Chains A and B, each alone.
Chain A
Amino acid sequence: MSLSVNIIKRLPGFMLNVSLDAEAGVTALLGASGSGKSMTLRCIAGVERPDEGSIVLDGRVLYDSKAKIDLPPQARKVGYLFQRYALFPNMTVLQNIDAGLSLERDVHARKTKRENLVARFHLQGLEDRLPRELSGGQMQRVALCRMLAGEPEAILLDEPFAALDSHLRWQMEAEVKETLAGFSGVALLVSHDRGEVYRMSKSVCVLNAGKSEPLLTTRELFDQPRTLQTALITGCKNCVPAERLSAESIFVPVWNAKLACAPDGSSGMTHVGIRAHYVVPCEPGAENAIRCRVVSASDDVFSRVLTLLPAGGTATIRSEVSKAVGDTLQIGNDAWFCLPKEHIMLLRETHEG
């Protein structure tokens, strides 16, 4: 089970250039808004056409510009879950699911499948409702059910949780995850939310202004993003230019700090990053300790976010600590904070040609 995508499409403002080989399981497409994620999905589904390239699913060629192959969406067996679900407003839930069974000719088999699907997605009692009479979560279940009715070989999910209330998201994530676990094909999940990506997928492809980065596992992505843009997309708030002094040390001008880092033989480092919650108060003599002044503090739901200005530095460091710890520090205080060596990420800024 694999999906191989190599496409180029010229769009106003940028060029979409995606190279992706996804295996069975959930692969995330992560990128900022407007980076071409949805367009990529649409090209894979066949509702939009790339300018050149190829798309191959399990050895079946869906699109090949050189061989002039372009299968219509109806023939691709690729399911698509739209961000706003695209349930047909004039049809009941049952009719919507039935639309997903379009390719099943045998009336009897159709009925059986339909009933199974309704049971599997817990839609009993909702069969005769119209989409506008459903809650967000129910709509998503219907959309999922409808999509899987046709037994697709690959499924594409376009920001599936974006339209949900946050308290519902958790539950829907669990449901979707369970559904995906029962799906043996390739699933591509598009998102701009790093949390979703982290929780739902095992590998990630980052899209940076249209250009796809090589596939990483989720763990790799968050621990070692390698590029500045990827680090930013994954939510790293402290990314600043840095200079390498030696294999194990770097200097960050804007923080006026010399830091030890894990041995890294690669060259081309231009920036350094560290996640806010790794920046913690420490003893003055600790490794990578920096003296900072607390410039501001604000409360998040379960943590306190501190903005720190290193002594002699020009840029701030963002630190996220528990409320208890935060209570010990006042604005205007000076304190020592540590940037642990193992969590310092060495980053390269990629330039788009």
Chain B
Amino acid sequence: MQEIWDILKTLDYSPLWISLQTGLVATVICFFLGIWTARSVMHMGKRAKAFVDGILTLPMVLPPTVAGFFLLLIFSLRRPIGSFLYDELSIKVVQTWLGCVLAAGVISFPLMYRNARAAFEQVDIELIYAGRTLGMSERAIFWRVVLPSAGPGVVSGTILTFARALGEYGATSMLAGNIAGKTGTISQRIAMVIQNGDYLTAGMWVAIILLISFGIVVAMNVFADSKMRNIKKW
């Protein structure tokens, strides 16, 4: 017990802040991007839709380390896109916290996109027709009719996205590295510490990340329940 307390007192908590920031920022970005993409894909023709959908779901199918490797090839300072970003726009993705967010975002994006799309496709089309005939703008219809109607799916997508972004390891490690204090996330910390045999510290970190994820997921559920009063239970 005393051992645990000693560890907690002397622990370097930077992975906690880095993981939290990464998780939250990546989730916010995926939320808007996923919804916008889902909406756009819905309007595409059949073949284009299937093709684009396949590409957007790809990050989930690939092992995260492979996905991270691909991201590295894109954003590496030695490669065209990465060097353009760095030389012209002073944006460095590799070896930075931005890389953490990008890796976590890319990996968890399919979760938000798929859930949002499924939710949108389930919305009663007469509600949309009604909005149009009443003179509501398309934007008003989307935010005030479609999104609340698609609520459960969108919330579920957001929760899954956050959970995945928080726990992301393989792609982050490849793209952003495991730089203590800068890009070292909780997951990378746990992996390293386990490899070096310090199970107690690993256990602490696991407990911390479990508490956070659990807390945030519960909070999201409570929020969702309070907003979606028209959901029937069956």
Q: Which residues of A contact B (CB under 8 A)?
A: 42, 45-47, 72-74, 76, 78-80, 82, 84, 86-91, 99-100, 102-103, 130-132, 146-147, 149-150
Contact = CB atoms under 8 A, between A and B. Distances in A.
Contact of B135 (A91, A102, A131): A102
A46 B134 CA distance: 12
A97 B228 CA distance: 20
Interface stretch (B25-33, B57-65, B82-90, B140-148): B140-148
Interface in B124-141: 124, 126-127, 129-137, 140
A268 to B, nearest CB: 41
B230 A86 contact: no
A90 B149 contact: yes
A14 B83 CA distance: 59
A131 B140 CA distance: 19
Interface of B: 124, 126-127, 129-137, 140, 144-145, 148-149, 151, 228-230
Contact of A82 (B129, B140, B151, B228): B129
Contacts of B134: 79, 99-100, 102, 146-147, 149-150
Contacts of B131: 88, 99
15 contacts: A47-B129, A47-B132, A47-B133, A74-B135, A79-B134, A86-B124, A86-B126, A86-B127, A86-B129, A88-B127, A89-B149, A90-B148, A99-B134, A102-B140, A130-B230
Given A86-B124, A89-B230, A90-B148, A72 B132 contact: yes
A80 B229 CA distance: 26
Contacts of B230: 89-90, 130-132
B150 to A, nearest CB: 11
Given A86-B126, A88-B127, A46 B132 contact: yes
A164 B187 CA distance: 58
The 10 closest A-B pairs by CB, nearest first: A73-B132, A86-B130, A90-B148, A89-B230, A86-B126, A102-B135, A80-B133, A103-B135, A47-B129, A102-B136
Contacts, number: 75
Contacts of A46: 132-133
A130 B229 contact: yes
Contacts of B145: 88, 90
Contacts of B228: 90
Contacts of B133: 45-47, 73-74, 76, 78-80, 147
Contacts of A80: 129-130, 133
A349 B129 CA distance: 37
B148 to A, nearest CB: 4
B3 to A, nearest CB: 52
A87 B130 CA distance: 8
Interface centre among A73, A149, A150 (most CB of B within 10 A): A73
A72 B133 CA distance: 9
Nearest to B127: A86
A88 B141 CA distance: 10
Given A130-B229, A132-B230, A74 B132 contact: yes
B224 to A, nearest CB: 13
B44 to A, nearest CB: 18
A74 B136 contact: yes
Given A47-B133, A89-B149, A84 B144 contact: no
Contacts of A130: 229-230
A153 to B, nearest CB: 12
Given A45-B133, A103-B135, A147-B134, 10 more contacts: A42-B129, A47-B129, A79-B134, A80-B133, A82-B126, A82-B130, A84-B126, A86-B129, A99-B144, A102-B136
B151 to A, nearest CB: 8
Contacts of A146: 134
Contacts of A86: 124, 126-127, 129-130
Nearest to A158: B126
Contacts of A45: 129, 132-133
A147 B130 CA distance: 9
A73 B149 CA distance: 21
A91 B144 contact: yes
A74 B230 CA distance: 27
B202 to A, nearest CB: 45
Contacts of A87: 130
A78 B135 CA distance: 9
A130 B124 CA distance: 17
